Amino acid sequence: MLPDDALDRITEGCRTIGKICQSQGIQQWEIVATQSYGHSIDIEAGKIALAAGGGEGGYGIRVVEDGRFGYAYLVDLGSADYAIKQARDIAKVSPSVKGFVLPSEQTAKEVGGLFDKNILSIGPEDLLEQADAILSEVASLDQRAVVTGGGLGVGASATAILSSEGIESSGVTTSHGMGIQVSIDADDELTSSYEGDSSSQRLPNVPDCIAVAVDWAQKTRGPIEVNTEAHDTPVLMTSEGFSPLFSMVVPTAVRGDRLARDESFWSGKQGEIVLADDLSLIDDGRMEGGRSSSSRDGEGVPTRRQTLIENGRLVGSMWSTRDAAQQVAEGRIDHAETNGCAVRGSHQSPPGTGCSDLQMISSMKSSSQDALLERMEDGYIVHSVMGAHTANPTSGDFSVTSSTLLRVEGGQVLGPVKQAGLSGNLAKALSRDVYLGDDVRIQGSYSSGNMHLPDVLLMQGLRINPA
């Protein structure tokens, strides 16, 4: 899947562009490069619809002169001169940020578990066999169930960074992931559930998420009648239902630049209690096998494991180089510096501030789902939400809908609810009476990084409005 010379080729490309920058007397420059290869399978209407493969990549150039920066990207090294000119032209008309300079080289230790050579040997035929196994497993679990959409794929990415300040690093990561939509269309009723899984290591041929998808397509059938008036209620949000809202709101709230600009619901609360006092929030850029972990961040700064909220108290924040310099220069904060929290979408974009692998943990003993239901007594289980991207990361307010939820009374599941609106304020909901489940699962994010979250019982701050 990955050519033997891929890493050497992009590293040499970075050096070639760097030499051009040096020859032109650019004060500071930074070159990043990516080259990714992979295979994928699409599934539609219970059949394999498309098998594809290929690669993509390129180089990104950031130049910094007198506190001004410009950015450009390219694919062909032959256009390096033009891209450098673009970056310099952009820098000339960009605002100067006093004190903004690129970070210097610091020694960084490797992070394990980010590469699995077994993934490199997976070819299109292997993915076809895995797709067949998944289709067969769904049919065996429920003859009515059909995989109506989704797919699976594997990939390998070579990345490199080189800067005028002595940073030079490169490496290869791998990925194996899948996501499927399982539907049951029978007896004039259609129910469905989407589940997925991904890892830097090779996944099992049929991951656990396949059975979960079938299970939720089954348990949401035959909706019961419920009180249709909107009411405040406890809600047990599964990891899959909670993560979209959490990832949209919480990582943004602990970004240093947003805290400094009063654009976070935790602005001005450094050192104060902002979560339930048993909860802590940790961003671990060095998590072994972490889907967003690495030895260095998007600017080449060594990553770290850092506590952002400790026992409910806001004790830290996330910074990248330019965001830190800008907030100090504008007088919003006395001192700030990068703490290894620069992230990039790809080589096509300059770095910003974001999390890596974010965990919410509790000093209290975690509970099984049955124990959480017993504590909740009356309420709802919500397994998925639609519209999480509309949540307000400044206030924490949200209003979403769900068609994958169950009514609970006396700690027992009564049955599914056809559809309901769910609204509230996530900051308030997390401020007290929060209980965590004992099964932590990795979820993707709307903002940056990955979320490591269990099921979460929120006892206050939420309102359900059944359809």
Using 50, 70 and 90 to split pLDDT, how confident is the model at 452? very high
Whole-number Å distance between alpha carbons of 120 and 1: 6
Neighbouring-strand partners of residue 360:
281
Whole-number Å distance between alpha carbons of 445 and 258: 18
Q: Check whether 448 has a pLDDT greater than 90.
A: no
368-412 pLDDT, tens digit per residue, is: 999 999 999 999 999 999 999 999 999 999 999 999 999 999 999
Using 50, 70 and 90 to split pLDDT, how confident is the model at 50? confident
Look at residue 109 in the predicted model and tell me its pLDDT.
96
Look at residue 4 in the predicted model and tell me its pLDDT.
87
Look at residue 333 in the predicted model and tell me its pLDDT.
96
Q: Check whether 425 has a pLDDT greater than 90.
A: yes
Using 50, 70 and 90 to split pLDDT, how confident is the model at 51? confident
Look at residue 6 in the predicted model and tell me its pLDDT.
93
Look at residue 2 in the predicted model and tell me its pLDDT.
85
203-242 pLDDT, tens digit per residue, is: 999 999 999 999 999 999 999 999 889 999 999 999 999 9
Name 110's Cβ contacts closer than 8 Å, sequence gap at least 6: 295
Look at residue 227 in the predicted model and tell me its pLDDT.
83
Query: What are the C-alpha distances in Å from 432 to residues 171, 311, 429?
Result: 43, 12, 7
CB 40 within 8 A of CB 59: no
Mean pLDDT for the stretch of residues 426-438: 96
Look at residue 360 in the predicted model and tell me its pLDDT.
97
| Closest among 412, 388, 433 to 275, alpha carbons compared | 433
Mean pLDDT for the stretch of residues 310-333: 97
171-185 pLDDT, tens digit per residue, is: 999 999 999 999 999
3-state SS of the chain?
Answer: CCCCCHHHHHHHHHHHHHHHHHHCCCCEEEEEEEEEEEEEEEEECCEEEEEEEEEEEEEEEEEEECCEEEEEEECCHHHHHHHHHHHHHHHHCCCCCCCCCCCCCCCCCCCCCCCCHHHHCCCHHHHHHHHHHHHHHHHHHCCCEEEEEEEEEEEEEEEEEEECCCCEEEEEEEEEEEEEEEEEEECCEEEEEEEEEEECCCCCCCCHHHHHHHHHHHHCCCCCCCCCCCEECCEEECHHHHHHHHHHHHHHHCEHHHHHCCCCCCCCCCCCECCCCCEEEEEECCCCCCCCCCCECCCCCECCEEEEEECCEECCCECCHHHHHHHHHCCCCCCCCCCCCEECCCCCCCCEECCCEEEEEECCCCECHHHHHHHHCCEEEECCCECHHHCCCCCCEEEEEECCEEEEECCEEEEEECCEEEEEEHHHHCCCCEEEECCCEEECCCCCCEEEECCEEECCCEEEEEC
Neighbouring-strand partners of residue 170:
160
325-367 pLDDT, tens digit per residue, is: 999 999 999 999 999 999 998 999 999 999 999 999 999 999 9
Whole-number Å distance between alpha carbons of 208 and 289: 19
Sheet arrangement for strand 420-425: 231-232, 462-466, 420-425, 397-402
Whole-number Å distance between alpha carbons of 353 and 337: 12
Mean pLDDT for the stretch of residues 152-156: 97
Look at residue 239 in the predicted model and tell me its pLDDT.
97
Mean pLDDT for the stretch of residues 449-457: 96
Q: What is the set of domains in the chain, with CATH numbers?
A: 6-219 (3.30.2290.10), 231-466 (no CATH)
Of 257 and 49, the structure prediction assigns the larger pLDDT to 257
Q: Check whether 1 has a pLDDT greater than 90.
A: no
Whole-number Å distance between alpha carbons of 433 and 229: 24
Q: Check whether 447 has a pLDDT greater than 90.
A: no
Which tokens hold the place of 314? Answer: 């806001």
Q: From the centroid of its chain, how far is CA 389?
A: 13
Q: Check whether 298 has a pLDDT greater than 90.
A: yes
Look at residue 337 in the predicted model and tell me its pLDDT.
97
CB 240 within 8 A of CB 453: no
| Closest among 355, 353, 322, 323 to 30, alpha carbons compared | 322
| Average confidence score pLDDT of the chain | 96
Whole-number Å distance between alpha carbons of 323 and 336: 9
Look at residue 321 in the predicted model and tell me its pLDDT.
97
Whole-number Å distance between alpha carbons of 71 and 350: 7
Mean pLDDT for the stretch of residues 302-315: 98
Mean pLDDT for the stretch of residues 419-426: 96
